[in-house]
Amino acid sequence: MSTRIETRFAACATEGRAALVTFVTAGDPDFETSLALLKALPAAGADVIELGVPFTDPMADGPAIQAAGLRALKAGQTLRKTLDMVRAFREGDAATPIVLMGYYNPIYIYGVDRFLVDAKSAGVDGLIVVDLPPEEDNELCLPALLAGLDFIRLATPTTDDKRLPAVLANTAGFVYYVSITGITGSATPDPNLVGQAVSRIKRHTALPVAVGFGVKTPEQAAAIAAGADGVVVGSALIDALRATLDAEDRATPATVPAVTRLVSQLSEAVRGVRRQAAE
């Protein structure tokens, strides 16, 4: 039986286009606004949603996503509340894949076995846990796969052909290619280099390859979409959200529309790029 992630990437490939993967932080700037945004993303054009789990020490994240996590934590967001958010989203959307993205510590404290049961029942489809390397697959990756959750691994510009098989060994759903060396939102990816990297990864796996880190504008998204199965946008959406907050970092009536407007522009750009490989 295909997972939601497999089904969605296959549908996008059939349409001859890349998927738009959007990242937002759960609970930013508060639970109610975050849930409203989550519910609005599919209609705006998001094909897959990455939902960031706030953590106090997000080592791979740039300033924008770090700040979003701190806003969420200040507002009381927890891993349990993040699962509640997914459950509430699923009441109105049974098709859009949701991937939880974050770090191992909150899951470890929650309890791996309990977390996997609760995540699956809430409607989570996959996990990206950036601080668990393949050498630690027994900790979470293999149990997650057994529980029916895709475990999505990151490949980077420094992941060479010798390392790549280990990275891909237990990866499921899609491969997340980090297009730059560094933290999220810190640089702009080179579409030519990205295309070459995606081709190299595809020589090792049949999984879709989604490209993220540094994609901020519709033009950049379109350029990446020409050579990837998916385009991931996160920091730009967080920036759009932050720009609407009041002086106390509280949501305003402009908060959700500002993010969905950008998602619509990104979706239009990605959908405008026909991929010959998928036709």
Our answer to whether residue 61 is catalytic in this structure is yes
Say which of 47, 50, 150, 239 is annotated catalytic: 50
Separation between Cα atoms, residue 256 and residue 225, nearest integer Å: 25
260 Cβ neighbours under 8 A, 6+ residues apart: 37, 40, 41, 43, 44
| Given the residues 61, 125, 137, 229, the one annotated as active site | 61
Q: How many CB atoms lie within 10 A of CB 22?
A: 28
* Sign of the dihedral defined by the CA atoms of residues 132, 133, 137, 142, in that order: positive
DSSP-derived letter for residue 276 is G
Q: Is 136 annotated in the active site?
A: no
Q: Alpha helices, DSSP H only, in the chain?
A: 4-14, 31-44, 63-74, 79-90, 104-110, 112-122, 141-146, 164-168, 191-202, 218-225, 235-242, 255-271
CA distance 137 to 191: 31
Q: What's at 108, amino acid-wise? A: Y
Tell me the catalytic residues. 50, 61
